[in-house]
Amino acid sequence: KQEVTQIPAALSVPEGENLVLNCSFTDSAIYNLQWFRQDPGKGLTSLLLIQSSQREQTSGRLNASLDKSSGRSTLYIAASQPGDSATYLCAVLEYGNKLVFGAGTILRVKS
Amino acid sequence: DAGVIQSPRHEVTEMGQEVTLRCKPISGHDYLFWYRQTMMRGLELLIYFNNNVPIDDSGMPEDRFSAKMPNASFSTLKIQPSEPRDSAVYFCASQGIGEAFFGQGTRLTVV
């Protein structure tokens, strides 16, 4: 059974810092990996999608990498801002199209 | 497209009552997912459909839960009878090729 783990569970940083969120998964037979953002009381917003054949994806200040063989992904946020404060969720899409989520990392960026 | 639309946004009901949650996926998406989110258990996949056909309902917690997708533009998740432990945020998501997109969720409170 696929298990997705995110470390750290919570992170508090001063504004302007670069930071890394980690995601690991136990079964490397995945179709893709997706990073989401969730604001309190809101739904999930897709940030980045990495196909299993890709190594990384970038969008603005966000960069996500994927090492499928080792079952790891990282989300790098450059020059963090208070508006980046949210919960960040990692999810892997298994063959059979089942999307399995980690528990998330709660990020707080202090101004 | 307006994205994935869920209704109602909030539902408060008494224990024992029937609850029906509704979802309109993004047009053209082949997959539809129902998730439940709680503080204790995070995001749990309840059931998902491909081309209106249920593929995996192993996450449905009990026979009190049922889901239908009568056509490509509509799905329901029904709980009958509802119990206080069903209180959670229920999300619907749809997916075509690539990213999954989530609705804003239905916050269910069973008193």
Task: Say yes or no for a CB contact (<8 Å) between A100 and B56.
Answer: no
Q: What is residue A1's predicted lDDT score, i.e. its pLDDT?
A: 86
pLDDT tens digits, B71-84: 999 999 999 999 99
Q: Could you tell me if B91 lies within 8 Å of chain A, comparing CB atoms?
A: yes
For chain B, percent of residues with pLDDT exceeding 90 = 88
Pick from B42, B91, B93: which is nearest to A103 by CB?
Answer: B42
Q: Could you tell me if B25 lies within 8 Å of chain A, comparing CB atoms?
A: no
pLDDT tens digits, A51-70: 999 999 999 999 999 999 99
Q: Could you tell me if A106 lies within 8 Å of chain B, comparing CB atoms?
A: no
Please name the residue of chain A whose CA is at the shortest distance from the CA of residue B42. Answer: A103
How far apart CA A108 and CA A12 sit, in angstroms, is 5
Q: What is residue B1's predicted lDDT score, i.e. its pLDDT?
A: 67
Helix/strand number for chain B, H first, E second? 0, 11
Using CA atoms, how far residue B41 sits from A5, A18, A56, A98, A104, in Å, is: 13, 29, 29, 18, 11
A40 class by beta-carbon count within 10 Å (0-12 exposed, 13-18 middle, 19+ buried): exposed
Listed as ranges, residues in chain A with pLDDT below 50 are none
Q: Which residues of B touch A32 (CB under 8 A)?
A: 98
* DSSP per-residue codes, A5-29: EEE-SEEEEETT--EEEEEEES---
Pick from B91, B99, B105: which is nearest to A34 by CB?
Answer: B99
pLDDT confidence band for B98 (50 / 70 / 90): confident
Q: Could you tell me if A39 lies within 8 Å of chain B, comparing CB atoms?
A: no
Determine the distance from the C-alpha atom of residue A1 to the mean position of all C-alpha atoms in its chain, rounded to a whole number.
Answer: 20
Mean pLDDT of B13-22: 97
Mean pLDDT of B54-70: 94
Q: How far is B74 from chain A (nearest CA, A)?
A: 19
In the three-class reduction of DSSP (H, G, I as helix; E, B as strand; rest coil), residue B9 is classed as coil
pLDDT confidence band for B110 (50 / 70 / 90): very high
Best A4, A5, A44 member to test B by mutation, with max B CBs in 10 Å, is A44
How far apart CA B92 and CA B76 sit, in angstroms, is 10
